[in-house]
Structure 1
Amino acid sequence: MSYELIAALMFGSMLLMMLTGQRMFGVIGFVAVVAAIFLWGDRGGYDLAFAQTIKLMNWYPLLTLPMFIFMGYVMSESHLADDLYRMFHVWFGPVPGGLAIGTILLMVLISAMNGLSVAGMAIGATIALPELLRRSYDKRMVTGVIQAGASLGILVPPSVVMVLYAMIARQPVGKLWLAGVMPGLLLAALFILYIWLRCKFNPSLGPPIAEAEREKITRAEKYRLLLAGLMPVGIFLVMMVPFVAGYTRLVESSVIGALAATSVALFKGRMTWKILDICTRKTLAISCMFLWIILAALAFGAVFDGLRAVDFVRDLFMDNLGLGRWEILILMQLSFILMGTFLDDTAMLVIVAPLYVPIVRMLEFDLIWYGVLYTITCQIAYMTPPFGYNLFLMRAMAPNDVTLNDIYRSIIPFVGVMILGLAIVMAFPQIALWLPELLYNP
């Protein structure tokens, strides 16, 4: 049996097993180990799984994963983000669409302290959504804003998805996180520009706060909210400034972030044993899930390396189809968007990365830059039916008068904005590469 046929059987078996509803890491790991046993015998199959486990346990930056996840859950469960939203409510309320713009800024800051889209969705749906609907914001505009803003969680550092990509692509996590800063801010700026323009020409979509209400807010109250709302920003700066300045490594910075968030929650009297227990349990569950997925991905990729399946795909693209390097890159991004309609981000990465990462390296594209492109594509996948994670989360959290049809229609303009952002980053790679080159190669 040819290696190409074995690779095709591995893909087919994995997709078929996914339809049974089994856990992602179990499906991928099972296919990898069975294929290794078939190819190299019992000892080869067992050695494959053991070797990938050792490789995973020796990857020191992986310790950042539970720290950042814990920090995000502390921010969420202790309601530290509430102060942040009240600040945006007061300072941006007079602007057309101001509360929606404030929601995007809230999501950016939450993303900078969490790294998961789910946390942003939970905070946006529980804090921003009721307030926006109460103030007569258009329900489609509101649901689109929250879904788009929450998707920034996997691009703005510390991104958990980028940790997974870094492990598979063997790239420094710190460089990937820095590469996500400018594209993340670019997407946020494009979202804000779109919201402002829509509400400027159609004020009924996002009416500003009434003048009578604005007059009731004193200047002292404004500055008090500004101080309280900037506390989460302080947590982020305390965590990232020592890392960027070179005083700490990534792992130490993640510990500083977790301690800072916990200290602020204690200082405000919002950290209880119950909240600590909830944060710890959720952190353990998410961290273990990612560890199993990374382990399965490494095993799957090792089998593909042994099969030299990359050579087969390269010959297909370059020799048989005669495509250029940019055409191949665009085709790979389109395949990610297509897969994103029925797979989540980790599944896409685990399935395709063993093939695409070596091809990107062979085409002489920067793997850090490509990691940003992949992450933006995952953001688009989070919002595209029928699978889109954020669509399901929004439906579960939204009130009954917000229908699934409203949610689907709400994301159309924001997906268009994200595709525009993806095209800009593809056309101008330095948007992603400037910051890591500046800080890693002074």
Structure 2
Amino acid sequence: MSYGIIATLMFSSMMLLLLTGQRIFAVIGFVGAAAAVLLWGVGGIELPFTAIIKVMKWYPLLTLPLFVFMGYMLAESKIADDLYKMFHIWFGSLHGGLAIGTILMMVIISAINGLSVAGMAVGCTIALPALLSRGYDKAMVTGVIQAGSTLGILVPPSVVLVLYGMIARQPVGNLWMAGVFPGLLMAALFIGYIVIRCWLQPELGPPLPKAERDQYSFRQKLALGRAGLVPLVIFLSMTGLFLTGVTSLVESSAVGAVSSILAAWWRGGLTWKVMHDTTRKTLGISCMFFWIIMAALCFGAVFDGLGAVRSIETLFMGEMGLEPWQVLVLMQLTFLGLGMFLDDTAMLVIVAPLFIPLAGALGFDLVWYGVMYTITCQIAYLTPPFGYNLFLMRAMTPPEVTLPDIYWSVIPFVGIMLLTLVLIGLFPEIATWLPNHYYAK
């Protein structure tokens, strides 16, 4: 049996087992370990064992639980409430101003968390009731919150980019910096859409009543600004120390975690319940990521040993005669298809052994490709029928917001994400200029 057929059997077996509803890391790890034993005998068990040891020795992996802890601490201690109240008052006089403030809040929440789920939780518990109670269109509201929350996996310190960097063997600092301009570009396009849509249809985003705006003096607005800037100060101190070389990546994540505890204590929100809930959620998310990384490394080792990447490259570029950019388009279309059924980590684990080495073999910058992959993951969060954010939003919204409302609400934002993907594909410098310019110094 040829290696190409074996690789195909591995991939198809993995997809079939995923349909049974088993946990992703268990399926990936089992297929990889079983294939290693069947191909190379008892000695093949060294592959999964080596993958486990490699994970245990990966010092940068410590950043994952620390960044997750930082985000949950700021959310659980209600510091994010101050942030939203600031934007709520400052932008309330504009048509669609509260929706614009929600996007800006999501950018800052993303910059202190690195996960989409935290942005969704903050948006649904703080922004959603405020927007609906003030007459905002429910489709506009749910679309803004879902799209804004996805910025957490693109804007640094993105946990997804950390995971990608470890699997693709790329510097996390480069990936973070590569995600800055694309993330800001996407947020700006979201805001532009809100402004234009609410200008054409003012009833979708009415401004705050003048009586409510007049409740706050200029001094009170400044006080709200100081309270809302606490998360931004934490982010700037953490990333500033890292980018200036004062601290390593792991040390910077520790600075962020400790700073979040001090900020919660300063605000008066540091309680045993907050600490317990934050620690428990951090443990659950971190363990999930660790298992996924181990499974991906095991599966990838077998795939590399079979020469699957070289076979795919020969098929596309030799037998089919495709150009590298055509292969890239096919890869992205595959991502978009998988995104209708799987989340971002599942897609990374499934295609990492194949697509990341293939992108490198085709001559593409793997830092740039990491941004392309991450934007595709953002789209995956919002695409029916099984977009993760769609069901999370349905679980957190009141009964009057139906699932069809939620599905329709994401269409314009998915279109904006696709536009961003095309722009970065056509102009890679949007992603690569900042890391290249910074590290060139």
Aligned positions of 1:48-127 closer than 5 A: 48-127=47-126
1:15 counterpart SS class:
helix
2:238 counterpart SS class:
helix
- 2:315 corresponds in structure 1 to 316
Amino acid corresponding to residue 341 of structure 1 in structure 2:
M
Q: Which runs of 5+ in 2 are unaligned?
A: none
- 2:227 corresponds in structure 1 to 228
Q: Per-residue displacement from partner, 1:325-366 (whole Å, max 9, x unpaired)?
A: 111111111110011001111111111111111211111110
Give me the identity figure in percent.
Answer: 64
Alignment of 1:241 with 2:212, yes or no, is no
Q: CA deviation at 1:377?
A: 0.3
Q: Which runs of 5+ in 1 are unaligned?
A: none
| CA–CA distance in structure 2, aligned partners of residues 430 and 203 of structure 1 | 37
| CA–CA distance in structure 2, aligned partners of residues 363 and 307 of structure 1 | 19
| CA–CA distance in structure 2, aligned partners of residues 284 and 7 of structure 1 | 34
Aligned positions of 1:327-338 closer than 5 A: 327-338=326-337
Q: Per-residue displacement from partner, 1:156-197 (whole Å, max 9, x unpaired)?
A: 111111121111111111111111111000000000000011
What's the RMSD between the two structures over aligned residues?
0.9
| CA–CA distance in structure 2, aligned partners of residues 97 and 174 of structure 1 | 35
Q: Per-residue displacement from partner, 1:184-214 (whole Å, max 9, x unpaired)?
A: 0000000000001100111101011122322
- 1:20 corresponds in structure 2 to 20
Aligned positions of 1:254-333 closer than 5 A: 254-333=253-332
Contact 1:238/1:260, CA 8 A, preserved across alignment = no
| CA–CA distance in structure 2, aligned partners of residues 4 and 223 of structure 1 | 64
Q: CA deviation at 1:320?
A: 2.0
- 1:409 corresponds in structure 2 to 408
Alignment of 1:159 with 2:158, yes or no, is yes
| CA–CA distance in structure 2, aligned partners of residues 61 and 350 of structure 1 | 19
Q: CA deviation at 1:61?
A: 1.0
- 2:141 corresponds in structure 1 to 142
| CA–CA distance in structure 2, aligned partners of residues 351 and 11 of structure 1 | 8
1:175 counterpart SS class:
helix
Amino acid corresponding to residue 19 of structure 2 in structure 1:
L
Q: Per-residue displacement from partner, 1:124-145 (whole Å, max 9, x unpaired)?
A: 0000000000010000000000
Q: How many residues align?
A: 441
Q: Per-residue displacement from partner, 1:104-154 (whole Å, max 9, x unpaired)?
A: 011111011111100000000000000000010000000000000001110
| CA–CA distance in structure 2, aligned partners of residues 240 and 357 of structure 1 | 27
Q: CA deviation at 1:3?
A: 1.0
Amino acid corresponding to residue 73 of structure 2 in structure 1:
V
Alignment of 1:42 with 2:42, yes or no, is yes
| CA–CA distance in structure 2, aligned partners of residues 16 and 378 of structure 1 | 22
Contact 1:25/1:296, CA 8 A, preserved across alignment = yes
Q: Per-residue displacement from partner, 1:68-92 (whole Å, max 9, x unpaired)?
A: 0000110111110000000001111
1:112 counterpart SS class:
helix
| CA–CA distance in structure 2, aligned partners of residues 210 and 305 of structure 1 | 62
Off by >3 Å, runs of 4+ in structure 1: none
- 2:399 corresponds in structure 1 to 400
The TM-score with structure 1 as length reference comes to 0.99
